[in-house]
Amino acid sequence: MKALAQNETVNAQVLTALRAAVITGELAPGTLHSVQTLATELGVSRTPVREALIKLAQQGMVRFERNRGVRILQTSLHDLEEVFALRLLLEPAAVRRAVTRLDEPTRKELRKLFAAMQKAAKADDEFTMLEHDRRFHRVVLEASGNTRLATYVDGLRDMVLRRGVSTARESRSLDDIVDEHAEILVLIEAGDSDGAAQAMRAHILHTAELLIAQEAGAEVGALDIDLGWTNPAAGDADMRPD
Amino acid sequence: MKALAQNETVNAQVLTALRAAVITGELAPGTLHSVQTLATELGVSRTPVREALIKLAQQGMVRFERNRGVRILQTSLHDLEEVFALRLLLEPAAVRRAVTRLDEPTRKELRKLFAAMQKAAKADDEFTMLEHDRRFHRVVLEASGNTRLATYVDGLRDMVLRRGVSTARESRSLDDIVDEHAEILVLIEAGDSDGAAQAMRAHILHTAELLIAQEAGAEVGALDIDLGWTNPAAGDADMRPD
DNA sequence: CAGTGGTGTGTGGCATGTCACTCTCGGCGG
DNA sequence: CCGCCGAGAGTGACATGCCACACACCACTG
């Protein structure tokens, strides 16, 4: 278990450490752990650990089992479908909105994050790459002006990360990921809100298909995967009753 | 403060009681309360109260202020915009999906809930009416098959409820609300997924406009309200890269 | 050897103890 | 009368105590 950082409330430190441990697989899906054990490993008392676990439980990463322990939940195929269906509904719309609200500092940060992604991809540093990937999306989401949306979608990524980490490489190169973000960034900077939204949608859909296809292979087999219901061909267009 | 129910973990009881107290305004927005006080009023120790408050804090209903207390957050105009922007993105899509997956038991429950709404409206029982309203939406959302979406949207309603309760009456009669749900229900039963989605969108948009207009009047004044970004005229249609 | 009952260990849930810090309020100096 | 300041009360955050209960393990019985 990783040591704790400083200059923060213990609760937040524990939360970060536990989340990281789950994502990296240090706390393996399906396994049981006691609050006491985790607290000892982190060098704190049970209270902040329990409180952090409550937050993770609300997010769906763990589950308390009375008198048994805390179970690390694994993301099922259905979980992935749910997460990506939500992301497909929210992120393209957020990008579209963000383009119309973007200011220069935010634009600059996006460029900076993208450059960091490129650099990490060149160095074949998957972890750093995914970190910047996440921050890139986060900045875009926040630029939409909807904090709740940004926070929620960012939380959804946790469900996927432990699949993405160490498996992304098998199906898609880091350079491919960079390329998809490049397209999004270009369209954002060009002020093309619809184009950026479409690029984001394609990016998420692509990621979803790779992860779900991979996971479906690892499970029972063929399952009807349809994420398209999120944005049907004949959809919400021209539906402005006002 | 309402007494606690039985046959449930204390934590859940406290959570329900606190949520209800916030919604009804018994815990007024902006006010500070101590965990000790709340625990005493509820007749339990500080621990389950604190844990319940942590969950409410994650949801954005309260905020811990170190060495000061727990502040009951008021939903600002911007909060309402965020919530309804999210609902506009999620609920119409969920309804569209739900229509294609609906089974007879669920249909039956929707009819039952709608009948209950009618009855409560006739009896001018606002609280019961809103309860059934919420369950109606919840059933529809769950019928989409996306549990996360259902849970999240249901949680979003908490942010609005304490505005809706005792204020809905001022701008819209209970019968109007029933009528909007009638339209949705008819289209769902007819298997018209696009129509149902559009009706849901109109319903949410209507509600949002009433609440936001009312709130804007109570605040500084005119503010640029635009929820439309969630579903632009030229949007995600024909965007199936697969 | 197989089945069973009881006991011991470990757990989450709840209660309580402890501490650093913040805010209040009254007394004192101006 | 007004302003400052310091002591006390109250708080959230964290640590610890306590309990009912689930489960594994083992001795005992057939």
> What tens digit of pLDDT does each residue of A174-230 get?
888 899 999 999 999 999 999 999 999 999 998 888 888 877 665 544 444 556 565
Residue B219 pLDDT > 70: no
Q: Closest Cα partner for A198 from B43, B34, B53, B236? A: B236
Nearest to B58 among A58, A83, A96 (CB): A58
Q: Average pLDDT, stretch A142-153?
A: 96
Q: What is the pLDDT of residue B214?
A: 77
Contacts of B205 in chain A (CB under 8 A): 241-242
- Predicted local distance difference test score (pLDDT) of residue A229: 62
CATH architecture of A77-222: Up-down Bundle (1.20)
Helix spans in chain A (H): 10-24, 35-42, 46-59, 77-101, 104-122, 126-143, 147-164, 168-171, 174-189, 193-218
Q: pLDDT confidence of A233, banded at 50, 70, 90? A: very low
- Report the percent of chain B where pLDDT is more than 70: 81
CA-CA distance, A197 to A235, in Å (whole number)? 15
Of the listed ranges A15-29, A93-107, B98-112, B219-233, the one predicted with least confidence? B219-233
Interface test with B, best of A89, A99, A200, A242 (most B CBs within 10 A): A89
pLDDT at A7: 61
Please, are residues B70 and B33 in contact by the beta-carbon 8 Å criterion? yes
Average pLDDT of B218-232? Answer: 52
* Protein CA A71 to sugar C1' D30 (Å): 40
CA B70 – CA B68 distance, rounded (Å) = 7
CA distance linking residue B185 with residue B51, whole number of Å: 38
- Distance in Å from D9's C1' to B80's CA comes to 38
Domain with CATH 1.10.10.10 in chain A: 10-72
- Residues forming CATH 1.20.120.530 domain(s) in chain B: 77-221
CB A117 within 8 A of CB A181: yes
The residue type of B220 is: V
Bridge partners for B72 per DSSP: B62
Q: Which 50-89 residues of chain A touch chain B by CB within 8 A?
A: 50-51, 54-55, 58, 60, 81-83, 85-86, 89
Query: Bridge-partner residues for A72, per DSSP?
Result: A62
CATH no. of A10-72: 1.10.10.10
Residues of chain A with CATH 1.20.120.530: 77-222
Q: Identify the architecture of domain B77-221 in CATH.
A: Up-down Bundle (1.20)
pLDDT, mean over chain B: 86
Cβ atoms of residues A86 and A201 within 8 Å = no
Q: Name the pLDDT band for A165 (thresholds 50, 70, 90).
A: low
* C-beta atoms surrounding B232 within 10 Å: 19
> Over the stretch B192-211, which tens digit does the pLDDT of each residue have?
999 999 999 999 998 888 88
* DSSP string for B31-76: -EE-HHHHHHHHTS-HHHHHHHHHHHHHHTSEEEETTTEEEEPPPP
